[in-house]
């Protein structure tokens, strides 16, 4: 075969190959275009999640108590990461680990295609790491919850977990309201998984709704400050303070000690997380004596009805009930003012025990208060078929039943409102419908008697200059391994101000003070006085006692 012929044959073969290639391109263009386009899109077009912004929690004056700020979570696909140590070194340094630690982690998770490197990094920190351009490293926009008030309102507001889901407090109970609905969008990504451009939105992200609550941050701070100081001063296990608006049932302040900082939960003590004002129950002691007196007044006894407490003690079944000293003859107001155990016991034995039980039940003991707060306790209200005499008298002065500080505040709010019972609420502007559960005459008579507790009785340290105050002290022994322990006490004060036409109810509880003085009059009453005095002046309540101090 001549060289010329070989050249012609080679040219012919080349032309055949060119023709075959052209034919193949035409076939692909006409018959397989859609298939190939779909395959290409599957490798470059992705569906990206759009995280939704969680709603803010605001106090009644629109001050933020919980807000969400944008952050970036860094993640990696281990199979896409380079094996070159020099490429990984800047990444490991930026993450604050050694290259060996980083590679060990990636080896342990190499079967996965998604591994978090750092959750909720500040945008500038995340940008610095992403700008390194390490293949297989990506960023996802998220939101981080921040609590401007720190531990001051922590028990009320609660907190969210790292995925922005409510875990405690109002963050939990109103999680559906606060949570937004994530959206989706189509994006075009390059070879390294970086978003080149947004193609189209598929579903818009719906932000969560804001929640405006009844707490006034200014009043919350006042309660928190005084309570924290008192718990430290008296070396107590814990303490609670609740402040209610008498006219609306709104919770204006709710503080507990010990507290915690929701912005820093690295070494969080779980015992400090619960909202003790609604979850912990206590025997209320003498703070329920006014409600026993209310039963007597409702039965027809006059305010001036007298009870002889001599000789200062009495035997009931096999037990001896004692007063600190013989107080002789006392009217009903005197029994409350001096918190006479003998006086209230003799009164209780003259009344039908089921009437006393019904009064306690009507005031809300043994039932939730209506706030819907997670973990709220209903307390315990015994309902015996037969009552021993000792059970009748101890029940009448606050033993054998348990209540929360919030329940006790709600009961005193009923007296302060003239006999109208309202559900308590944590939401601003949500005024609960009231129901009359106590005769207005009885409520007003109790208001007068509780004023005597301050002016002449055990609650003198609850007095406030220029304002008339009403309330009741309480000191309850706690149950120990062998019955009631004389060395462990709870100090209470429950009251309202001003005495007539009351505006606010406050309840103070100090759990197990470790000082010489353990009574509600010496420990809890001064806390009430300091907080309530500031509340009345801050909210411009006119003075009710304009007499000049002597």
What is the Cα Rg of the chain in Å? 35
Sign of CA dihedral 385, 390, 393, 395: negative
Q: For residues 191 and 343, what is the distance between their CA atoms, to the nearest angstrom? A: 87
Q: For residues 340 and 314, what is the distance between their CA atoms, to the nearest angstrom? A: 12
Sign of CA dihedral 171, 54, 270, 263: negative
Cβ within 8 Å of residue 318, ≥6 positions away: 390
Pull the structure tokens for residue 160. 């969210």
Catalytic residue among 73, 179, 238, 286: 286
286 is catalytic: yes
Closest alpha carbon to 307 in 325, 289, 332, 287: 332
Pull the structure tokens for residue 22. 């052209």
Pull the structure tokens for residue 492. 């209470």
Please write down the HEC assignment for all residues of 52-93. Answer: CCCCCEECCCCCEEEEEEEEEEEEECHHHCCCCHHHHHHHHH
Q: 278: helix, coil or strand? A: helix
Q: 200: helix, coil or strand? A: strand
**Residue 68: HSE in the Cβ half-sphere, 13 Å Cα cutoff:** 30
Pull the structure tokens for residue 284. 């209320």
Active-site residue set: 286
């Amino acid at each position: 075969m001549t060289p010329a012929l070989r050249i012609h044959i080679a040219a012919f073969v080349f032309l055949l190959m060119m023709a075959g290639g052209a034919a193949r391109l035409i076939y692909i263009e006409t018959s397989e275009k859609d298939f190939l386009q779909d395959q290409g899109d599957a490798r470059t077009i992705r569906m990206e999640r759009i995280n939704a912004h969680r709603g803010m929690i605001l106090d009644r004056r629109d001050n933020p108590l919980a807000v969400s700020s944008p952050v970036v979570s860094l993640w990696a696909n281990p199979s896409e990461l380079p094996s070159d140590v020099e490429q990984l070194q800047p990444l490991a340094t930026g993450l604050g680990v050694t290259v060996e630690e980083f590679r060990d982690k990636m080896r342990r998770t190499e079967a996965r295609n998604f591994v978090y490197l750092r959750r909720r990094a500040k945008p500038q920190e995340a940008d610095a790491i992403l700008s390194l351009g390490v293949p297989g490293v990506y960023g996802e926009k998220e939101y981080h919850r921040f609590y401007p008030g720190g531990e001051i309102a922590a028990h009320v507001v609660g907190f969210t977990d790292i995925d922005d889901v409510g875990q405690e407090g109002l963050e939990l109970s109103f999680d559906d309201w606060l949570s937004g609905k994530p959206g989706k969008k189509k994006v075009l990504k390059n070879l390294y998984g970086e978003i080149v451009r947004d193609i189209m939105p598929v579903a818009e992200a719906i932000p969560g709704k804001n929640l405006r609550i009844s707490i006034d941050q200014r009043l919350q701070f006042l309660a928190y400050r005084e309570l924290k100081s008192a718990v430290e001063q008296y070396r107590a296990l814990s303490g609670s303070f609740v402040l209610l608006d008498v006219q609306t049932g709104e919770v204006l302040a709710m503080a507990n000690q010990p507290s915690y900082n929701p912005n820093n939960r690295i070494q969080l003590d779980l015992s400090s997380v619960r909202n003790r004002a609604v979850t912990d129950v206590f025997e209320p002691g003498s703070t329920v004596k006014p409600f026993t007196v209310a039963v007597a007044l409702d039965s027809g006894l006059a305010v001036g009805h007298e009870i002889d407490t001599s000789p200062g003690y009495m035997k009931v079944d096999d037990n001896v009930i004692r007063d600190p000293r013989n107080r002789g003859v006392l009217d009903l107001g005197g029994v409350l003012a001096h918190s006479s155990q003998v006086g209230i016991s003799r009164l209780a034995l003259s009344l039908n025990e089921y009437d006393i039980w019904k009064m306690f039940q009507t005031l809300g003991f043994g039932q939730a208060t209506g706030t819907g707060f997670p973990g709220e306790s209903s307390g315990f209200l015994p309902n015996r078929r037969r009552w021993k005499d000792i059970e009748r008298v101890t029940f009448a002065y606050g033993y054998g039943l348990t209540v929360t500080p919030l329940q006790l505040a709600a009961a005193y709010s009923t007296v302060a409102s003239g006999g109208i019972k309202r559900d308590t609420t944590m939401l601003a502007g949500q005024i609960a419908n009231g129901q009359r559960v106590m005769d207005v005459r009885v409520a007003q008579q109790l208001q007068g008697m509780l004023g005597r507790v301050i002016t002449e009785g055990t609650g003198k340290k609850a007095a406030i200059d220029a304002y008339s105050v009403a309330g009741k002290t309480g000191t309850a022994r706690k149950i120990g391994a062998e019955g009631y322990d004389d060395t462990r006490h709870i100090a209470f004060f429950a009251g309202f101000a001003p005495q007539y036409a009351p505006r606010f109810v406050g309840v103070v509880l100090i759990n197990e003070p470790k000082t010489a003085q353990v009574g509600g009059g010496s420990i809890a009453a001064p806390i009430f006085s300091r907080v309530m005095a500031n509340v009345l002046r801050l909210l411009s309540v006119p003075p009710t006692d304009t007499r000049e101090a002597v």
